[in-house]
Amino acid sequence: MALIYIDDLKNHIAEEIKISGWLYNKRSSGKVRFLVIRDGTGILQCVMVKGIIQDDVFNLFDTITQETSLHVFGKIKKDDRAPGGFEMELTNIQIIAIAKEYPITPKEHGVEFLMDLRHLWLRSSRQHAILRIRHQIIKAIREFFDNRGFILMDAPIITPAACEGTSTLFETDYFDLGKAYLTQSGQLYGEAGAMAHGKIYVFGPTFRAEKSKTRRHLTEFWMVEPEVAFADLNDNMELAEEFLEHIVTSVLKYRSAELKTLERNISILEKVKKPFPRVSYSEAVEILKKEGIDFEWGNDFGGTDETIISEGFDRPVIVHRYPAKVKAFYMKRDPQNPDLALAMDVLAPEGYGEIIGGSQREDDFDLLVQRIKEHNLPQSAFDWYLDLRRYGSVPHAGFGLGVERTVGWICGLEHVRETIPFPRMIYRLTP
RNA sequence: UCCGCAGUAGCUCAAUGGUGGAGCAUCCGGCUGUUAACCGGAGGGUUGCAAGUUCGAAUCUUGCCUGCGGAGCCA
């Protein structure tokens, strides 16, 4: 017999059915008792009245504790008084396993306590909604690229050297070959893929060993990185805005119930339509100065700078053409001004900061060799990467989108630690 | 690594130098439509750890531990 799920109850009104789940909450007013069941797809209020149901079933109420697993049997009816709009008139209950005293009670808890119990916290309605939206975002990401002929190309997670040579990497011993590192970006491999397939995307976990202690940082996070051959900075910015529009539209369409659970103000999300405002780095610096910020041209923006810049716009804003010296070695210089890199960042509204970073890549062999030297990187480690310029180099561009920051923004969360099932942070390795 | 904040019952918090409490959770009792149900009762404490000041410390001082927020770095 196929399981019936709570989110499908509308097709089973007036039927006698079985629902399998866990006790979410229970209430009683003596002779009338309510069991609230969750089955992973929703919650269902079940009601029983003494004298109408068998006494031995009625009395099971006292032994069923929060999160006890059980089957409930009864007839489904519409009832506006019930959360979810449907109610089951109980005829029978089968207990599978009585739960021990459950630590997460239907009252407030602190984040530290809940994070220690993350494996159980995932069951509560808010976390449930967040992870369903995360799922939708990831689905929309894959859908977007798949529908446009991009090929998914997995990059290695264990790598021989830094991709960008700046961040601190997690290090491990690799047999007789010396040290290996966990990847901080699949991009360089993605460029190889773009030269083979035209347009690809890398989607995988990335790792940063920096001791970042902010609401925007995890040591392990997921990143999607498209890379397109024969594309320039403008193509890259257009791709990014169509991409973000698609993701947000998809979440609004398929996860409105979850956004409501999170009490997200969706009017802000509804404005995420292309074209996004575009400002150059220099214009962004002017915005900061107009707001009274003491900011020197040539520095990179900090978190608060990004917030101030994005506050002037009602949708994500693209900042382009950064000073080359604050950006990575592989970025192509602006032919109009060699001090600038053809880089672009997308800043999310409401202070969520940088969710996309990308650029047109340097495609000239000699210039790339020069950049590697300027950044004091070992050229031997990049010899394979230079091959991409030796053998049929073309203009190409791409970007990386941080999944957790995007989930945090769309859900309206305070901290990215709630956007991933089991966050890894500098002071948290468990559960 | 640096700066700031916090640590009291299983959980969330109160008590600011003078007898450590409340709500929730647990246990017992009551209630025929509850909505984080409600009402009555009970049990539950090395106030993060160590030292110091004081007649007296959860409260003041110092050190340590743990966590949170921010800076730097980045998505």
What CATH number is attached to the domain comprising A25? 2.40.50.140
Same-domain pairing of A88 and A145: no
Averaged pLDDT, A185-198: 95
Same-domain pairing of A74 and A156: no
Instruction: Provide, in whole angstroms, the distance separating residue A114's CA from nucleotide B14's C1'.
Output: 22
In a domain, A51, yes or no: yes
Judged by C1' against the alpha carbon of A50, the nearest nucleotide is: B32
Cβ contact A149 with chain B strand, < 7 A? no
Cβ contact A59 with chain B strand, < 7 A? no
Same-domain pairing of A335 and A200: yes
Q: Is A136 left (phi over 0), alpha (psi -120 to 50) or beta?
A: alpha
Judged by C1' against the alpha carbon of A24, the nearest nucleotide is: B36
Confidence class for position A256, pLDDT limits 50, 70, 90: very high
Token pair for A214: 């902010």
Cβ contact A45 with chain B strand, < 7 A? yes
At A117-145, the pLDDT tens digits run 899 999 988 999 999 999 999 999 999 99
Cβ contact A391 with chain B strand, < 7 A? no
CATH code where residue A242 lies: 3.30.930.10
Same-domain pairing of A168 and A278: yes
Amino acid of residue A42: G
Instruction: Provide, in whole angstroms, the distance separating residue A400's CA from nucleotide B75's C1'.
Output: 7
Averaged pLDDT, A137-161: 94
Averaged pLDDT, A106-118: 83
C-alpha to C-alpha distance for A198 and A253, rounded to whole angstroms: 31
Same-domain pairing of A73 and A216: no
Same-domain pairing of A60 and A90: yes
Cβ contact A80 with chain B strand, < 7 A? no
**Strand arrangement, sheet containing A179-182:** A158-159, A179-182, A171-173
In a domain, A190, yes or no: yes
In a domain, A428, yes or no: no
Q: What pLDDT does A427 receive?
A: 80
- Residue % of chain A over a pLDDT of 90: 62
Same-domain pairing of A226 and A154: yes
Q: Are A95 and A70 in contact (CB under 8 A)?
A: yes
C-alpha to C-alpha distance for A147 and A226, rounded to whole angstroms: 13
C-alpha to C-alpha distance for A330 and A240, rounded to whole angstroms: 19
Q: Which of A97, A130, A146 is the last residue of a domain?
A: A97
Q: Are A289 and A279 in contact (CB under 8 A)?
A: no
Asked if the model's pLDDT at residue A402 lies above 60, the reply is yes
Using the structure block, give the residue that is written with the tokens 């506050």: A311
In a domain, A113, yes or no: no
Asked if the model's pLDDT at residue A101 lies above 90, the reply is no
- Sorted by sequence, the CB contacts under 8 Å of residue A399 that are 6+ apart come out as A225, A226, A236, A239, A240, A344, A346, A356, A357, A358, A359
Same-domain pairing of A242 and A288: yes
Residue of least CA–C1' distance to B33: A32
Same-domain pairing of A89 and A236: no
Same-domain pairing of A361 and A316: yes
Same-domain pairing of A200 and A333: yes
Range of the domain at A42: 6-97
Q: Which nucleotides of B are covered by protein (CB under 7 A)?
A: 1-2, 10-13, 23-28, 30-38, 66-75
Cβ contact A275 with chain B strand, < 7 A? no
Cβ contact A429 with chain B strand, < 7 A? no
Q: How far is CA A279 from CA A237, A284, A312, A317, A359, in A?
A: 12, 6, 11, 8, 15
Higher pLDDT residue, A109 or A18? A18
Averaged pLDDT, A203-224: 89
Give the distance, in angstroms, between the CA of residue A40 and the centroid of all CA atoms in the same chain.
Answer: 20
Q: What pLDDT does A167 receive?
A: 58
Q: Which of A43, A66, A97 is the last residue of a domain?
A: A97
In a domain, A430, yes or no: no
Same-domain pairing of A88 and A181: no
Higher pLDDT residue, A178 or A226? A226
Cβ contact A107 with chain B strand, < 7 A? yes
Q: Are A45 and A88 in contact (CB under 8 A)?
A: yes
In a domain, A132, yes or no: yes
Q: What pLDDT does A232 receive?
A: 96
Cβ contact A390 with chain B strand, < 7 A? no
Confidence class for position A57, pLDDT limits 50, 70, 90: very high
Q: Which of A67, A97, A127 is the last residue of a domain?
A: A97
Structural domains in chain A (count): 2
Q: Nearest 5°: phi and psi at A7? A: -75, 0
Token pair for A79: 């009832």
SS3 A145: helix
Q: Are A381 and A179 in contact (CB under 8 A)?
A: no
Amino acid of residue A226: P
Cβ contact A60 with chain B strand, < 7 A? no
Q: Are A262 and A130 in contact (CB under 8 A)?
A: yes
C-alpha to C-alpha distance for A167 and A188, rounded to whole angstroms: 15
In a domain, A122, yes or no: yes
Cβ contact A233 with chain B strand, < 7 A? no
In a domain, A108, yes or no: no
